[in-house]
Amino acid sequence: MTIAFTPLRPQFAAQVTGIDLRQPLDDETVARIDAAMDRYAVLVFRHQPLTQEQQIALARRFGPLDAGLRKATGAPTRFQHEELIDIGNVALDGSVAQPDNSKLIGVLANQLWHSDSTFQDLPVKYSMLSAVVVPAEGAQTQWADLRAAWEALPEKTQALVEPLVGRHSAFHSRIQLGDASYTEAQLQRFPPVDRPLVHLHAASGRKVLFPSVHIESIRGMTVPQGRLLVAELIEHATQREFVYSHEWAQGDYVMWDNRTTLHRGTRYDLSQRRDLRRTTTLERHAT
pLDDT means per 10 residues, the chain with 287 residues, are 93 97 96 97 97 97 84 74 91 91 86 92 92 94 98 98 95 82 77 95 96 96 98 98 97 98 96 96 67
167 neighbors 219 (Cβ within 8 angstroms): yes
Instruction: Return phi, psi of residue 93, to 5°.
Output: -85, 5
Rounded to an integer, what distance in angstroms lies between the CA atom of residue 135 and that of residue 141? 13
Rounded to an integer, what distance in angstroms lies between the CA atom of residue 216 and that of residue 214? 6
For the chain, how many structural domains are there in total?
1
**144 within domain boundaries:** yes
Classify residue 267 by its DSSP letter.
Answer: P
Domain of residue 66, residue span = 4-282
**159 within domain boundaries:** yes
**287 within domain boundaries:** no
Classify residue 114 by its DSSP letter.
Answer: B
Three-state SS string across 236-264, please? Answer: HHCCHHHEEEECCCCCCEEEEECCCEEEE
**89 within domain boundaries:** yes
Rounded to an integer, what distance in angstroms lies between the CA atom of residue 196 and that of residue 13? 24
Type of residue at 105: I
**200 within domain boundaries:** yes
H/E stretch holding 107 reads helix 103-109
Sign of CA dihedral 41, 56, 245, 235: negative
Rounded to an integer, what distance in angstroms lies between the CA atom of residue 11 and that of residue 3? 18
**180 within domain boundaries:** yes
Rounded to an integer, what distance in angstroms lies between the CA atom of residue 256 and that of residue 65? 14
Type of residue at 233: L
∠ CA 36-39-42, nearest 5°, is 70
**268 within domain boundaries:** yes
Here the CATH number for the domain that contains residue 256 is 3.60.130.10
**244 within domain boundaries:** yes
Classify residue 179 by its DSSP letter.
Answer: -
